[in-house]
Structure 1
Amino acid sequence: MQTTTPVENNGFAPAEDSRLLFRDAMARLGAAVNIVTTDGPGGVAGFAATAVCSVSDAPPTLLVCINRSSSAYPAVSANRMLCVNVLKSDHEDISRLFGGKTPMSERFKLGEWSPLETGSPALENAIASFDCKVSSILEAGTHDVLICKVAAVRKSSDGRGLVYFDRKYVHV
């Protein structure tokens, strides 16, 4: 049975029960799992992200959403460069490491990493890595939406993807 529930509270922020309803419904939106990394004057950092998508192919541009309370946020906002690494189905352990409370200094000990054009770490056996320069930032609620111009792309010729759906990893 399907139900429809309004999510706004008189045009203001959603009520807590509407917020939870929204989060539960969004868990049903499957998405590729990525590790977003950065390195530069703000330090090295990385986080797991599913809020990544293509914006344009002329010029190649994508967007990445990051929570401003993320431990990676200070480095990402200072460096204004990042690499989106699309994970393979056997990278669930890397996703858990970058998606949890693991100290930043421990996150890059798993996997093989090398810099691309911007100097941001790229995962050697990712399905694809998009090395980017952040060209603009939009604030949206608790997150920043980073509009990123792609400086370099590296892709693998093989591998199956890792997707997050209904709060579980799905190997496709």
Structure 2
Amino acid sequence: MIETWEFRAAMARLGAAVNIIVTDGPAGRHGMTASAVCSVSDDPASLLLCINKSARMHDVLKGNGRLTVNVLAGGQAGLSGAFADKTLDMDARFAAADWIMSDHGVPALTGALAAFGCAVASVVEMGSHSIFLCEVQHLMIGEEKSGLVYFARQYHALPMRDAA
């Protein structure tokens, strides 16, 4: 059997885009930093995200059934840290940035590289996490600039590609 520490050490070698996932609705407003996000299909446009069952976001997202995945730019590591900080309440987290209300009723981050407005299509349970399969219903594409990844337990801004 693979030890937890060993698996986490190996996963630290897998770079991933940094995202802030937000939800709003009858179950409340919540947001968190997540790197466990990826595309599933382009027809229909869909994403998956993995959330620990013990995270508050888990039940709030299940209750609301809708979310925005905000892809962070290279200069937004501080904002990622705020949404990962369990000592900050939601008002303080959301106050750390500017938001616009998207067409699907969930805030989208101003300055994000992209914002995917989604509805939860299904949830699959796997160990300590749930896999949320989400259909993209709204899309906002931001300004083209450097991206933010998490690799080796640190943030890294990806440089823009050369226009050549």
Deviation at residue 139 of structure 1 after TM alignment:
0.4
User: In the alignment, what sits opposite 2:27?
Assistant: 42
CA root-mean-square deviation: 0.9
Deviation at residue 158 of structure 1 after TM alignment:
1.6
User: In the alignment, what sits opposite 2:79?
Assistant: 94
User: In the alignment, what sits opposite 1:163?
Assistant: 149
What SS does the corresponding residue of 2:68 show, helix, strand or coil?
Answer: strand
User: Which 5+ residue runs of structure 1 have no aligned equivalent?
Assistant: 1-7, 9-13
Sequence identity, in percent? 44
Please, which moves more after superposition, 127-136 or 102-111?
A: 102-111
Deviation at residue 77 of structure 1 after TM alignment:
1.1
From 136, 146, 149, the counterpart of 1:150: 136
Deviation at residue 88 of structure 1 after TM alignment:
0.4
Inter-partner Cα distance in structure 2 for 1:150 and 1:110? 26
What SS does the corresponding residue of 2:83 show, helix, strand or coil?
Answer: helix
Count of residues in Structure 1 that have an aligned counterpart in Structure 2: 157
CA deviation map 1:8-66 (0-9, x unaligned)? 2xxxxx4xxx1110000001000000000000001110000000000000010110111
Inter-partner Cα distance in structure 2 for 1:58 and 1:22? 33
Q: Does 1:120 align with 2:106?
A: yes
Q: Which has the larger radius of gyration?
A: 1
* TM-score normalised by L of structure 1: 0.89
| Residues 111 and 143, structure 2, Cα contact 8 Å, conserved in 1 | no
Q: Does 1:30 align with 2:15?
A: yes
Inter-partner Cα distance in structure 1 for 2:103 and 2:44? 17
Q: Does 1:69 align with 2:54?
A: yes
Inter-partner Cα distance in structure 2 for 1:144 and 1:104? 22
